[in-house]
Amino acid sequence: MPFDFHNPYPTTRIPVLARNVVSTSHPLAAQAGLRMMWKGGNAVDAAIAAAAAMTICEPVSNGLGSDAFAILWDGQSLHGLNAAGRAPASWTPDYFRRQYGQDAASPPKRGPDSITVPGAVSGWVALSERFGKLPFADLLEPAIEIAERGYLLPVVVQQKWAAATPELGSLPGFAQSFLPWGRAPRVGELFRFPAAARALRRIAESRGAAYYGGEIAQAIERFVGEHGGSITAADFASFKPEWVQPIERDYRGYTLHEIPPSGQGIAALIALGILERFDLAGLPVDGADSQHLQIEAMKLAFADVYRYVAEPSSMEVTAAQMLDDAYLASRARLIDPKKAQDFGAGNPAKGGTIYLTAADENGMMVSFIQSNYMGFGSGVVEPSFGISLQNRGHGFSLREGANQVAPGKRPFHTIIPAFLTRRVDGRVEPVMSFGVMGANMQPQGHVQTLVRMLDYRQSPQAACDAPRWRFNAGLEINVEQQMDKATVRELAARGHQVEVIDDNYQDFGAGQFIWRAGDPKVEGYVAASDSRRDGLAAGF
């Protein structure tokens, strides 16, 4: 695509053009990935090394107790990996009602009873076994080194760390692991994590077996059980990640691919299926007309996603029904170009996350995401191995419906990697591996950045740096403080309840993008890293 490489937005970043690239939200993780390519590894090796390093460098967003997903192009075809954990065998609605009262609507937000089986480590192993080139133990060497030697805390990570401390400081193991001086580390202070280094060594030596049913799982069972939780080593031992077929939707001559439910990636596909009915390119890129249409399409998508999406076996409708052309056309007709609306779900039936991406000169491209969900997740940290455990269980409902908690079930999931392809002369070609972090901001970020690139020809870095909006609920939206003031006033005039937010990190996600410029051995890639984080796109 002939991008306009002029960037009209304030930024601290420039595009990176190289034949081998890693883009992450922390520079040390990007460099960990490049180390694997320098050793002869491929993009999968680089992604795993970067992901392991991220558990140490950005523990405010992910850890060794995270879930993960990936979409990758192996050079010839696309593959999806679901490494999201399942509920413990003890989890039923009655279990939580006995613990938290008959009026409880969901499992708790924090603490031992918010923890499902973490899947990220199993995802690393599965990716390595199927597509990696280097020995698995080699991939964890940079993360072990960073954990043992320590690193100086960067600005954005420190802000999130300090903000989480008042809520999480009293939870089991948190202070011991993450408040080394009785407080959050300050910018520029050295943070070491020797317990996590110990876990990484055992994971490396055992290829994950120590984690799933072995000594690490047993340590987690003991520690969580001492503090009132019910997850067991047997729950860990029974878990396996799944290879899945990504779902897809065409838009402007390209095809966007997302992981299927129980993830929310389908929201981006629905919104783009609605927006293709409008001539966005004929509207000013940062004007109210274009932004309003995107917001309304996203609201329609979320109305259906929150109503219908759960683990596929529990859904009332299929993903194909939710993406049906005629259905999306009917949803598009509900949009009033001049008025904000609060949409309900339609009837499609007939009758705190890190994201990283890596690409190599042989054409392999990896879109990878892992998360502890809300910041440090459950706030529970097994201290002997430094396992910071996610709180994905909070995504279940205790009420009857598709997302009601049950033993061995996966909850509604927010983290979603994405991939873009196009069809040329009857064959599928890879175009971009990308993602945008940040709870329900993720599909919204996918839509906003893709519209900028595909409708307006903005470069990945400009699309990344541009001001964003975020839909919350009803008529409520947040907008970044750098959004055009006239656009903000006009959105308010159309009925949007607009709140301008100064903290870009908090509400608007952060993305990493790698766009294939041509033959990877010749032209290579164009990479971008979001200036809303401490990140880096690096290559050679």
**CA angle centred on 247, ends 245 and 252, rounded to 5°:** 135
Kind of pairing, strands 497-501 and 476-480? parallel
Q: Would you state the structure tokens that stand for residue 446, as one six-digit string?
A: 């996918």
Instruction: Residue 377: name the closest of 33, 107, 28 by CA.
Output: 107
Q: Would you state the structure tokens that stand for residue 30, as one six-digit string?
A: 């990007």
The 3-state secondary structure of 450-519 reads HHHHHCCCECHHHHHHCCCEEEEECCEEEEECCCCHHHHHHHHHCCCEEEEECCHHHHHCEEEEEEECCC
CB atoms within 10 A of CB 14: 12
**First-to-final CA distance of the chain:** 22
**CA angle centred on 389, ends 512 and 130, rounded to 5°:** 55
Euclidean distance between CA atoms 540 and 524, whole angstroms: 10
Q: Give the CB-side neighbour count of residue 120, counting CA atoms within 13 A.
A: 32
Q: Which of the residues 353, 414, 421, 449 is marked catalytic? A: 353
Q: Would you state the structure tokens that stand for residue 490, as one six-digit string?
A: 């006009």
Q: Which residue spans within 27-109 are E strands per DSSP?
A: 67-73, 78-83
Euclidean distance between CA atoms 107 and 116, whole angstroms: 11
Phi and psi, residue 37, nearest 5°: -70, -35
Q: Would you state the structure tokens that stand for residue 447, as one six-digit string?
A: 């839509």
Contact call for residues 404 and 57 (beta carbons, < 8 A): no
Largest CA distance in the chain: 63
Judged by phi (left if over 0) then psi (alpha if -120 to 50, else beta), residue 463 lies in alpha
Active-site annotation holds for 11:
no
Evaluated on CA atoms 121, 306, 302, 59, the torsion sign reads negative
Amino acid at 1: M
Q: Which residues are catalytic?
A: 353
